[in-house]
Amino acid sequence: MHTAVTRFGTVVLLDRTGIGASRLRLPRDRCRIDPGDSLLPAGGKDCSAHSALFDPSSRRLRPLSVLTDTWCSSGQFLANGTLLQSGGDLDGLRKLRAFSPCPLVGSCDWLELDSPLLADGRWYATNQILPDGSVVIVGGRAAPSVEFYPPSRPLRAFPFLATAEDAQMDNLYPFVHLLPDGRLFVFANARSVLYDVDSGDVVREYPELDGGPRNYPSGGSSTMLPLDPADGYARAEVVVCGGAQYGVFLHRQTDMPAATTCGRISAIDPDGAWAVEEMPFPRVMGDMVMLPTGEVLIINGAQSGSQGYEMGSNPCLNPVLYRPDQPAGLRFMTLTPTTIPRMYHSTANLLPDGRVLVAGSNPHYFYRFAGDFPTELRVEAFSPEYLAADKASLRPVIKAAPERVWYGDEFVMEVEVPLPLVGLMEVNLLSAPFATHSFSQGQRMVKLAVSPAVTVADGGGDGTPYRYRFGCKAPPDGRVAPPGYYMAFAVNQMVPSVARWVQLVL
Protein backbone atom coordinates (compact mmCIF):
# COMPACT_ATOMS: atom_id res chain seq x y z
CA MET A 1 0.00 0.00 0.00
CA HIS A 2 2.93 2.38 0.71
CA THR A 3 6.62 2.29 -0.31
CA ALA A 4 9.69 4.51 0.11
CA VAL A 5 13.37 4.07 -0.84
CA THR A 6 15.89 4.84 1.91
CA ARG A 7 19.40 6.30 1.57
CA PHE A 8 20.77 2.77 2.14
CA GLY A 9 19.08 1.59 -1.06
CA THR A 10 16.58 -0.46 0.90
CA VAL A 11 12.82 -0.05 0.47
CA VAL A 12 10.26 0.35 3.24
CA LEU A 13 7.14 -1.69 2.46
CA LEU A 14 4.10 -0.73 4.51
CA ASP A 15 0.59 -2.17 4.38
CA ARG A 16 -2.11 -1.82 7.07
CA THR A 17 -3.35 -3.62 10.17
CA GLY A 18 -6.87 -4.80 10.99
CA ILE A 19 -7.35 -7.37 8.20
CA GLY A 20 -5.90 -10.47 9.81
CA ALA A 21 -2.45 -12.01 9.71
CA SER A 22 -0.08 -11.53 6.79
CA ARG A 23 2.24 -14.23 5.41
CA LEU A 24 5.38 -12.68 6.91
CA ARG A 25 6.14 -13.61 10.51
CA LEU A 26 7.47 -11.29 13.20
CA PRO A 27 9.97 -12.41 15.83
CA ARG A 28 8.05 -13.83 18.80
CA ASP A 29 8.96 -10.92 21.05
CA ARG A 30 7.45 -8.40 18.60
CA CYS A 31 3.84 -9.65 18.49
CA ARG A 32 1.09 -7.05 18.88
CA ILE A 33 -2.37 -7.24 20.41
CA ASP A 34 -5.29 -6.00 18.33
CA PRO A 35 -8.58 -7.01 19.99
CA GLY A 36 -10.53 -5.14 17.30
CA ASP A 37 -9.35 -7.45 14.48
CA SER A 38 -11.98 -10.20 14.21
CA LEU A 39 -9.78 -12.27 11.88
CA LEU A 40 -7.13 -12.83 14.55
CA PRO A 41 -7.32 -15.60 17.16
CA ALA A 42 -9.16 -14.92 20.40
CA GLY A 43 -7.32 -12.21 22.31
CA GLY A 44 -6.18 -10.48 19.13
CA LYS A 45 -2.55 -11.65 19.19
CA ASP A 46 -0.90 -10.84 15.85
CA CYS A 47 2.59 -12.22 15.22
CA SER A 48 2.65 -11.32 11.53
CA ALA A 49 4.33 -8.30 9.96
CA HIS A 50 2.47 -5.48 8.25
CA SER A 51 5.65 -3.73 7.20
CA ALA A 52 9.05 -4.90 5.96
CA LEU A 53 12.44 -3.63 4.86
CA PHE A 54 13.40 -4.95 1.41
CA ASP A 55 16.83 -4.98 -0.22
CA PRO A 56 16.43 -5.11 -4.03
CA SER A 57 20.11 -6.01 -4.57
CA SER A 58 19.96 -9.19 -2.47
CA ARG A 59 16.19 -9.78 -2.80
CA ARG A 60 15.99 -10.29 0.95
CA LEU A 61 13.66 -8.67 3.42
CA ARG A 62 13.31 -8.21 7.14
CA PRO A 63 9.95 -7.89 8.93
CA LEU A 64 9.20 -4.60 10.68
CA SER A 65 6.76 -3.98 13.51
CA VAL A 66 4.02 -1.40 13.13
CA LEU A 67 1.54 -1.19 16.00
CA THR A 68 -1.25 1.12 14.82
CA ASP A 69 -3.36 1.12 11.68
CA THR A 70 -1.54 2.71 8.72
CA TRP A 71 -4.43 2.19 6.29
CA CYS A 72 -4.31 4.96 3.64
CA SER A 73 -1.77 7.03 5.56
CA SER A 74 0.85 9.53 4.37
CA GLY A 75 4.59 10.07 4.71
CA GLN A 76 7.72 12.05 3.93
CA PHE A 77 11.45 11.84 4.61
CA LEU A 78 12.78 14.47 6.99
CA ALA A 79 16.02 16.36 6.39
CA ASN A 80 17.97 13.86 8.53
CA GLY A 81 16.74 10.89 6.48
CA THR A 82 14.10 9.70 8.95
CA LEU A 83 10.81 8.65 7.37
CA LEU A 84 7.93 10.45 9.08
CA GLN A 85 4.67 8.56 8.70
CA SER A 86 1.32 10.08 9.61
CA GLY A 87 -2.27 9.06 10.19
CA GLY A 88 -4.27 6.09 9.04
CA ASP A 89 -7.53 4.73 10.41
CA LEU A 90 -8.91 3.78 13.82
CA ASP A 91 -6.06 3.73 16.37
CA GLY A 92 -3.75 5.22 13.74
CA LEU A 93 -5.90 8.21 12.81
CA ARG A 94 -3.91 10.78 14.80
CA LYS A 95 -0.63 8.88 15.17
CA LEU A 96 2.83 9.85 14.00
CA ARG A 97 5.48 7.19 13.40
CA ALA A 98 9.17 7.43 12.61
CA PHE A 99 11.54 5.07 10.85
CA SER A 100 15.26 5.89 11.01
CA PRO A 101 16.74 3.77 8.20
CA CYS A 102 19.68 1.39 8.46
CA PRO A 103 21.15 -1.37 6.28
CA LEU A 104 19.09 -4.53 5.99
CA VAL A 105 21.33 -6.31 8.52
CA GLY A 106 20.67 -3.57 11.10
CA SER A 107 17.95 -3.48 13.73
CA CYS A 108 16.06 -0.28 12.83
CA ASP A 109 12.28 -0.50 13.21
CA TRP A 110 9.19 1.65 13.42
CA LEU A 111 8.86 3.95 16.41
CA GLU A 112 5.30 4.93 17.35
CA LEU A 113 5.47 8.46 18.76
CA ASP A 114 3.49 9.03 21.96
CA SER A 115 3.57 12.75 21.25
CA PRO A 116 2.80 14.88 19.47
CA LEU A 117 -0.50 13.58 18.20
CA LEU A 118 -1.89 14.96 14.97
CA ALA A 119 -4.21 17.91 15.59
CA ASP A 120 -6.70 16.51 13.07
CA GLY A 121 -7.33 12.92 12.05
CA ARG A 122 -5.41 12.21 8.83
CA TRP A 123 -6.83 9.47 6.59
CA TYR A 124 -5.98 9.89 2.86
CA ALA A 125 -3.78 12.96 3.49
CA THR A 126 -0.67 14.21 1.64
CA ASN A 127 2.69 15.26 3.12
CA GLN A 128 5.27 17.64 1.65
CA ILE A 129 8.61 18.72 3.11
CA LEU A 130 9.08 22.50 3.17
CA PRO A 131 12.15 24.71 2.58
CA ASP A 132 12.99 24.88 6.30
CA GLY A 133 12.81 21.07 6.71
CA SER A 134 9.42 21.03 8.41
CA VAL A 135 6.58 19.01 6.88
CA VAL A 136 3.10 20.21 5.94
CA ILE A 137 0.31 17.62 6.18
CA VAL A 138 -2.59 18.47 3.87
CA GLY A 139 -6.17 17.26 3.96
CA GLY A 140 -7.61 13.83 4.53
CA ARG A 141 -11.09 12.46 4.94
CA ALA A 142 -13.28 14.97 6.83
CA ALA A 143 -10.14 17.08 7.41
CA PRO A 144 -10.13 20.20 5.19
CA SER A 145 -7.12 21.62 7.01
CA VAL A 146 -3.34 21.71 7.11
CA GLU A 147 -0.95 21.13 10.00
CA PHE A 148 2.78 20.94 10.46
CA TYR A 149 5.49 18.71 11.87
CA PRO A 150 7.08 19.76 14.14
CA PRO A 151 3.86 21.42 15.38
CA SER A 152 5.42 24.88 15.69
CA ARG A 153 2.50 26.34 13.75
CA PRO A 154 -1.16 25.79 14.68
CA LEU A 155 -3.75 23.76 12.80
CA ARG A 156 -5.10 25.85 9.94
CA ALA A 157 -8.39 25.53 8.06
CA PHE A 158 -8.07 25.02 4.30
CA PRO A 159 -11.58 25.70 2.91
CA PHE A 160 -10.48 24.95 -0.67
CA LEU A 161 -10.45 21.23 0.13
CA ALA A 162 -14.01 21.37 1.42
CA THR A 163 -15.25 23.18 -1.68
CA ALA A 164 -13.45 20.69 -3.91
CA GLU A 165 -15.36 17.76 -2.36
CA ASP A 166 -18.27 16.23 -4.28
CA ALA A 167 -20.73 13.43 -3.49
CA GLN A 168 -18.01 10.78 -3.97
CA MET A 169 -15.28 12.86 -2.27
CA ASP A 170 -12.64 13.32 -5.03
CA ASN A 171 -10.62 15.63 -2.75
CA LEU A 172 -8.59 12.96 -0.95
CA TYR A 173 -4.84 12.46 -1.32
CA PRO A 174 -4.58 15.95 -2.89
CA PHE A 175 -1.65 16.45 -5.26
CA VAL A 176 0.75 18.83 -3.46
CA HIS A 177 3.88 20.24 -5.11
CA LEU A 178 6.36 22.67 -3.53
CA LEU A 179 7.08 25.31 -6.17
CA PRO A 180 10.54 26.93 -6.38
CA ASP A 181 9.13 30.20 -5.03
CA GLY A 182 8.22 28.43 -1.75
CA ARG A 183 4.46 28.30 -2.34
CA LEU A 184 2.39 25.16 -2.84
CA PHE A 185 0.48 24.01 -5.89
CA VAL A 186 -2.48 22.02 -4.51
CA PHE A 187 -4.79 20.03 -6.81
CA ALA A 188 -8.02 18.36 -5.68
CA ASN A 189 -10.84 16.91 -7.81
CA ALA A 190 -10.41 18.96 -11.01
CA ARG A 191 -9.44 22.23 -9.32
CA SER A 192 -6.13 23.67 -8.17
CA VAL A 193 -4.85 26.63 -6.19
CA LEU A 194 -1.62 28.43 -5.40
CA TYR A 195 -1.27 28.32 -1.61
CA ASP A 196 1.00 30.51 0.50
CA VAL A 197 2.00 28.13 3.24
CA ASP A 198 3.39 30.94 5.43
CA SER A 199 0.32 33.18 5.46
CA GLY A 200 -2.30 30.48 4.89
CA ASP A 201 -3.75 32.43 1.96
CA VAL A 202 -4.94 31.06 -1.36
CA VAL A 203 -3.11 33.41 -3.70
CA ARG A 204 -4.68 32.19 -6.92
CA GLU A 205 -7.14 29.65 -8.28
CA TYR A 206 -6.09 28.09 -11.57
CA PRO A 207 -8.49 27.21 -14.40
CA GLU A 208 -10.32 23.92 -13.90
CA LEU A 209 -8.82 20.91 -15.68
CA ASP A 210 -11.33 19.29 -18.03
CA GLY A 211 -11.82 15.52 -18.12
CA GLY A 212 -13.41 14.69 -14.78
CA PRO A 213 -12.08 14.29 -11.24
CA ARG A 214 -8.47 13.17 -10.76
CA ASN A 215 -8.02 12.56 -7.01
CA TYR A 216 -9.11 9.70 -4.77
CA PRO A 217 -11.31 7.84 -5.46
CA SER A 218 -11.01 8.83 -9.11
CA GLY A 219 -7.38 7.80 -9.16
CA GLY A 220 -5.32 10.07 -11.39
CA SER A 221 -1.66 10.87 -10.74
CA SER A 222 0.61 13.90 -10.86
CA THR A 223 4.21 15.05 -10.88
CA MET A 224 6.14 18.29 -11.17
CA LEU A 225 8.59 18.36 -14.08
CA PRO A 226 12.33 18.92 -13.43
CA LEU A 227 13.52 22.28 -12.12
CA ASP A 228 16.30 23.71 -14.29
CA PRO A 229 19.08 26.23 -13.55
CA ALA A 230 18.94 27.33 -17.21
CA ASP A 231 15.92 29.49 -16.32
CA GLY A 232 17.13 30.30 -12.81
CA TYR A 233 14.83 27.62 -11.35
CA ALA A 234 12.00 30.06 -12.03
CA ARG A 235 9.76 27.76 -14.08
CA ALA A 236 7.67 24.95 -12.61
CA GLU A 237 5.37 22.79 -14.71
CA VAL A 238 2.89 20.33 -13.21
CA VAL A 239 1.41 17.36 -15.06
CA VAL A 240 -1.78 15.53 -14.01
CA CYS A 241 -2.67 12.29 -15.82
CA GLY A 242 -5.56 9.84 -15.86
CA GLY A 243 -8.55 9.51 -13.57
CA ALA A 244 -12.17 8.40 -13.73
CA GLN A 245 -15.39 10.06 -14.79
CA TYR A 246 -17.58 11.45 -12.05
CA GLY A 247 -20.02 8.82 -10.79
CA VAL A 248 -17.91 5.76 -11.54
CA PHE A 249 -17.06 5.27 -7.86
CA LEU A 250 -20.48 6.38 -6.63
CA HIS A 251 -22.37 3.93 -8.83
CA ARG A 252 -19.71 1.15 -8.94
CA GLN A 253 -19.35 1.38 -12.71
CA THR A 254 -16.33 -0.89 -12.81
CA ASP A 255 -16.36 -1.26 -16.60
CA MET A 256 -16.53 2.46 -17.37
CA PRO A 257 -13.41 3.49 -19.35
CA ALA A 258 -10.91 5.61 -17.44
CA ALA A 259 -9.69 9.05 -18.46
CA THR A 260 -7.33 9.24 -21.42
CA THR A 261 -5.95 12.74 -20.87
CA CYS A 262 -3.08 14.51 -19.16
CA GLY A 263 -3.13 18.19 -18.26
CA ARG A 264 0.06 20.27 -18.11
CA ILE A 265 0.34 23.76 -16.64
CA SER A 266 3.06 26.29 -15.87
CA ALA A 267 2.26 26.84 -12.20
CA ILE A 268 4.24 30.06 -11.64
CA ASP A 269 3.31 31.77 -14.91
CA PRO A 270 0.52 34.27 -14.06
CA ASP A 271 -1.13 33.39 -17.38
CA GLY A 272 -0.62 29.65 -16.97
CA ALA A 273 -3.39 27.50 -18.46
CA TRP A 274 -3.89 23.77 -18.90
CA ALA A 275 -2.67 22.15 -22.11
CA VAL A 276 -4.38 18.78 -22.57
CA GLU A 277 -2.72 15.76 -24.18
CA GLU A 278 -4.02 12.28 -25.02
CA MET A 279 -2.35 9.20 -23.53
CA PRO A 280 -2.05 5.98 -25.57
CA PHE A 281 -4.31 4.17 -23.06
CA PRO A 282 -7.05 5.14 -20.65
CA ARG A 283 -5.61 4.81 -17.13
CA VAL A 284 -6.81 5.03 -13.55
CA MET A 285 -4.61 4.16 -10.52
CA GLY A 286 -1.43 4.77 -12.52
CA ASP A 287 1.83 5.89 -10.91
CA MET A 288 4.02 8.66 -12.34
CA VAL A 289 7.71 8.11 -11.60
CA MET A 290 10.33 10.74 -12.40
CA LEU A 291 13.34 9.15 -14.09
CA PRO A 292 16.91 10.53 -13.84
CA THR A 293 16.72 11.61 -17.50
CA GLY A 294 13.85 14.01 -16.74
CA GLU A 295 11.33 11.74 -18.45
CA VAL A 296 8.30 10.37 -16.60
CA LEU A 297 7.32 6.72 -16.41
CA ILE A 298 3.56 6.13 -16.16
CA ILE A 299 2.97 2.59 -14.90
CA ASN A 300 0.41 0.39 -13.09
CA GLY A 301 -3.34 0.77 -12.91
CA ALA A 302 -6.45 -0.16 -14.85
CA GLN A 303 -8.21 0.98 -18.00
CA SER A 304 -11.67 0.93 -16.41
CA GLY A 305 -13.33 1.71 -13.08
CA SER A 306 -11.93 3.70 -10.17
CA GLN A 307 -9.96 3.36 -6.98
CA GLY A 308 -11.63 1.47 -4.15
CA TYR A 309 -12.09 -2.17 -3.26
CA GLU A 310 -12.91 -4.26 -6.34
CA MET A 311 -13.71 -1.11 -8.29
CA GLY A 312 -11.26 -1.50 -11.20
CA SER A 313 -11.16 -3.77 -14.24
CA ASN A 314 -9.16 -4.27 -17.45
CA PRO A 315 -5.61 -3.85 -16.11
CA CYS A 316 -3.32 -1.47 -17.97
CA LEU A 317 -0.26 -3.66 -18.45
CA ASN A 318 1.75 -1.33 -20.71
CA PRO A 319 3.91 1.34 -19.10
CA VAL A 320 4.15 4.61 -21.00
CA LEU A 321 7.10 7.00 -21.17
CA TYR A 322 6.23 10.71 -21.11
CA ARG A 323 8.97 12.81 -22.73
CA PRO A 324 8.24 16.41 -21.71
CA ASP A 325 10.79 18.03 -24.02
CA GLN A 326 9.33 16.51 -27.18
CA PRO A 327 6.73 18.40 -29.26
CA ALA A 328 3.10 17.98 -28.25
CA GLY A 329 1.67 14.90 -29.93
CA LEU A 330 5.01 13.07 -29.80
CA ARG A 331 5.58 12.88 -26.05
CA PHE A 332 4.22 9.42 -25.25
CA MET A 333 6.02 6.16 -25.97
CA THR A 334 4.44 2.77 -25.23
CA LEU A 335 6.81 0.36 -23.46
CA THR A 336 7.09 -3.37 -22.81
CA PRO A 337 4.08 -4.73 -20.89
CA THR A 338 4.13 -6.67 -17.65
CA THR A 339 2.18 -9.86 -17.13
CA ILE A 340 1.18 -8.97 -13.55
CA PRO A 341 -1.85 -6.71 -13.07
CA ARG A 342 -1.11 -3.88 -10.65
CA MET A 343 -4.50 -2.63 -9.55
CA TYR A 344 -5.63 -0.78 -6.43
CA HIS A 345 -2.93 -0.44 -3.75
CA SER A 346 0.07 -0.71 -6.08
CA THR A 347 3.20 1.46 -5.97
CA ALA A 348 6.25 2.34 -8.05
CA ASN A 349 9.56 3.88 -6.90
CA LEU A 350 12.81 4.85 -8.61
CA LEU A 351 15.81 2.86 -7.34
CA PRO A 352 19.39 4.21 -7.18
CA ASP A 353 20.43 1.87 -10.03
CA GLY A 354 17.88 3.52 -12.35
CA ARG A 355 15.32 0.72 -12.29
CA VAL A 356 11.78 1.22 -11.03
CA LEU A 357 10.53 -1.06 -8.27
CA VAL A 358 6.89 -2.06 -8.76
CA ALA A 359 5.02 -3.63 -5.86
CA GLY A 360 1.60 -4.31 -4.44
CA SER A 361 -1.93 -4.75 -5.75
CA ASN A 362 -4.61 -5.73 -3.28
CA PRO A 363 -7.99 -4.52 -4.54
CA HIS A 364 -9.80 -6.49 -1.80
CA TYR A 365 -10.70 -5.42 1.71
CA PHE A 366 -9.00 -8.54 3.12
CA TYR A 367 -6.11 -10.63 1.83
CA ARG A 368 -7.32 -12.82 -1.02
CA PHE A 369 -4.82 -15.05 -2.77
CA ALA A 370 -7.10 -16.61 -5.40
CA GLY A 371 -9.56 -15.41 -8.02
CA ASP A 372 -9.47 -12.23 -10.09
CA PHE A 373 -6.68 -9.80 -9.21
CA PRO A 374 -5.48 -11.64 -6.08
CA THR A 375 -3.45 -10.03 -3.32
CA GLU A 376 -0.08 -9.73 -5.07
CA LEU A 377 3.08 -10.71 -3.18
CA ARG A 378 5.49 -10.51 -6.12
CA VAL A 379 7.64 -7.44 -6.74
CA GLU A 380 9.13 -6.48 -10.09
CA ALA A 381 11.83 -4.13 -11.32
CA PHE A 382 11.13 -2.31 -14.57
CA SER A 383 14.26 -1.42 -16.55
CA PRO A 384 13.90 1.70 -18.72
CA GLU A 385 15.48 1.76 -22.16
CA TYR A 386 18.57 3.56 -20.85
CA LEU A 387 19.60 0.31 -19.10
CA ALA A 388 19.71 -1.64 -22.39
CA ALA A 389 22.99 -3.38 -23.20
CA ASP A 390 23.59 -1.17 -26.25
CA LYS A 391 23.74 1.89 -23.96
CA ALA A 392 26.55 0.47 -21.81
CA SER A 393 29.28 2.38 -23.64
CA LEU A 394 27.61 5.67 -22.64
CA ARG A 395 26.91 4.77 -19.02
CA PRO A 396 28.93 6.89 -16.58
CA VAL A 397 30.24 5.63 -13.25
CA ILE A 398 30.56 8.18 -10.46
CA LYS A 399 34.04 7.82 -8.94
CA ALA A 400 34.10 10.88 -6.66
CA ALA A 401 31.28 12.92 -5.17
CA PRO A 402 30.70 14.61 -1.80
CA GLU A 403 28.41 13.03 0.77
CA ARG A 404 27.13 16.43 1.89
CA VAL A 405 26.63 19.75 0.12
CA TRP A 406 25.35 23.13 1.31
CA TYR A 407 23.07 25.47 -0.61
CA GLY A 408 24.87 27.44 -3.31
CA ASP A 409 28.10 25.45 -2.84
CA GLU A 410 30.31 24.61 -5.76
CA PHE A 411 31.70 21.10 -5.63
CA VAL A 412 33.58 18.64 -7.83
CA MET A 413 32.54 15.27 -9.21
CA GLU A 414 34.52 12.72 -11.18
CA VAL A 415 33.10 10.07 -13.51
CA GLU A 416 34.40 7.34 -15.75
CA VAL A 417 32.86 6.55 -19.14
CA PRO A 418 33.80 3.80 -21.64
CA LEU A 419 33.71 6.21 -24.63
CA PRO A 420 34.91 9.82 -24.88
CA LEU A 421 32.50 12.38 -23.50
CA VAL A 422 30.55 14.42 -26.05
CA GLY A 423 29.02 17.63 -24.70
CA LEU A 424 28.17 18.36 -21.07
CA MET A 425 27.60 15.75 -18.43
CA GLU A 426 24.34 16.37 -16.55
CA VAL A 427 23.96 15.96 -12.80
CA ASN A 428 20.41 15.56 -11.54
CA LEU A 429 19.19 15.29 -7.95
CA LEU A 430 16.12 13.14 -7.35
CA SER A 431 14.28 12.91 -4.06
CA ALA A 432 13.02 9.68 -2.54
CA PRO A 433 9.24 10.13 -2.32
CA PHE A 434 6.61 8.29 -0.29
CA ALA A 435 4.47 6.43 -2.83
CA THR A 436 0.86 5.51 -2.17
CA HIS A 437 -2.48 5.61 -3.98
CA SER A 438 -1.07 6.76 -7.35
CA PHE A 439 0.84 9.75 -5.97
CA SER A 440 4.48 10.02 -4.94
CA GLN A 441 4.47 12.51 -2.08
CA GLY A 442 7.51 14.78 -2.21
CA GLN A 443 8.73 13.61 -5.64
CA ARG A 444 11.20 16.09 -7.12
CA MET A 445 14.00 16.39 -9.66
CA VAL A 446 16.45 19.30 -9.62
CA LYS A 447 19.04 19.74 -12.35
CA LEU A 448 22.38 21.24 -11.32
CA ALA A 449 24.49 23.80 -13.13
CA VAL A 450 27.54 21.90 -14.41
CA SER A 451 30.83 23.22 -15.83
CA PRO A 452 32.59 21.69 -18.87
CA ALA A 453 34.45 18.50 -18.05
CA VAL A 454 38.22 18.31 -17.77
CA THR A 455 39.95 15.09 -18.81
CA VAL A 456 41.68 13.36 -15.91
CA ALA A 457 42.69 10.19 -17.75
CA ASP A 458 42.35 9.11 -21.38
CA GLY A 459 40.85 5.75 -22.10
CA GLY A 460 42.05 3.36 -24.72
CA GLY A 461 41.31 0.36 -26.86
CA ASP A 462 42.29 -1.94 -24.00
CA GLY A 463 39.03 -1.13 -22.22
CA THR A 464 40.46 1.53 -19.92
CA PRO A 465 37.68 4.07 -19.30
CA TYR A 466 37.94 7.81 -19.81
CA ARG A 467 37.90 9.77 -16.58
CA TYR A 468 36.54 13.31 -16.28
CA ARG A 469 36.28 15.96 -13.57
CA PHE A 470 33.71 18.76 -13.59
CA GLY A 471 32.23 21.31 -11.25
CA CYS A 472 28.64 21.41 -10.03
CA LYS A 473 26.67 24.07 -8.21
CA ALA A 474 24.20 23.07 -5.51
CA PRO A 475 20.64 24.48 -5.57
CA PRO A 476 20.38 28.02 -4.19
CA ASP A 477 17.94 27.35 -1.34
CA GLY A 478 15.34 25.03 0.18
CA ARG A 479 12.57 26.36 -2.02
CA VAL A 480 14.23 24.77 -5.03
CA ALA A 481 15.32 21.64 -3.17
CA PRO A 482 14.25 21.08 0.46
CA PRO A 483 16.96 19.73 2.77
CA GLY A 484 17.47 15.99 2.88
CA TYR A 485 18.97 13.04 1.02
CA TYR A 486 18.87 12.94 -2.77
CA MET A 487 19.94 10.43 -5.38
CA ALA A 488 22.60 12.22 -7.45
CA PHE A 489 22.76 10.81 -10.98
CA ALA A 490 25.37 11.66 -13.60
CA VAL A 491 23.64 11.54 -16.99
CA ASN A 492 25.50 11.18 -20.28
CA GLN A 493 23.41 11.53 -23.44
CA MET A 494 20.26 10.39 -21.61
CA VAL A 495 22.03 7.44 -19.98
CA PRO A 496 22.29 7.72 -16.16
CA SER A 497 24.86 6.33 -13.76
CA VAL A 498 24.05 4.46 -10.60
CA ALA A 499 23.24 7.22 -8.11
CA ARG A 500 25.27 8.39 -5.16
CA TRP A 501 23.31 9.56 -2.13
CA VAL A 502 24.02 13.21 -1.32
CA GLN A 503 22.66 15.08 1.67
CA LEU A 504 21.63 18.66 1.01
CA VAL A 505 22.17 20.56 4.24
CA LEU A 506 20.61 23.77 5.53
Tens of pLDDT, residue by residue over 448-493, are 999 999 999 999 878 899 999 999 999 999 999 999 999 999 999 9
For residues 410 and 243, give the distance between their C-alpha atoms in angstroms, rounded to a whole number: 42
Once rounded to an integer, what is the mean pLDDT over residues 87-100? 97
Give the pLDDT of residue 441: 98
Express as a percent the part of the chain with pLDDT over 90. Answer: 96
Nearest to 228 by CA among 259, 183, 268: 268
CA atoms within 13 A on the CB side of 470: 21
Close Cβ partners of 81 (under 8 Å, ≥ 6 residues apart):
6, 7, 100, 101, 484, 485, 503
pTM for this prediction:
0.97
Q: What is the pLDDT of residues 7-44, one digit of tens each?
A: 999 999 999 999 999 999 999 889 999 888 888 988 89
Give the pLDDT of residue 462: 85
Longest dimension (CA), the chain: 71
Residue 305 has pLDDT above 90, yes or no: yes
> What DSSP designation does 284 have?
B
Interstrand relation of 404-406 and 397-400 (parallel, antiparallel or unpaired)? unpaired
DSSP 34-73: -TT-TTSPTT-EE-B-SEEEEETTTTEEEEE---S--TT-
Give the pLDDT of residue 250: 98
Q: What is the pLDDT of residues 369-404, one digit of tens each?
A: 999 999 999 999 999 999 999 999 999 999 999 999
Residue 330 has a CB neighbour count (10 Å cut-off) of 8
Strands (E), 135-274: 135-138, 145-149, 156-157, 175-178, 184-188, 191-196, 201-205, 221-224, 237-241, 261-266
Give the pLDDT of residue 293: 98
Residue 266 has pLDDT above 90, yes or no: yes
Is residue 455 within 8 A of residue 468, CB to CB? The reply is: yes
Residue 262 has pLDDT above 80, yes or no: yes
Query: Average pLDDT of the chain?
Result: 97
Residue 318 has pLDDT above 80, yes or no: yes
Is residue 218 within 8 A of residue 212, CB to CB? The reply is: yes
Give the pLDDT of residue 36: 84
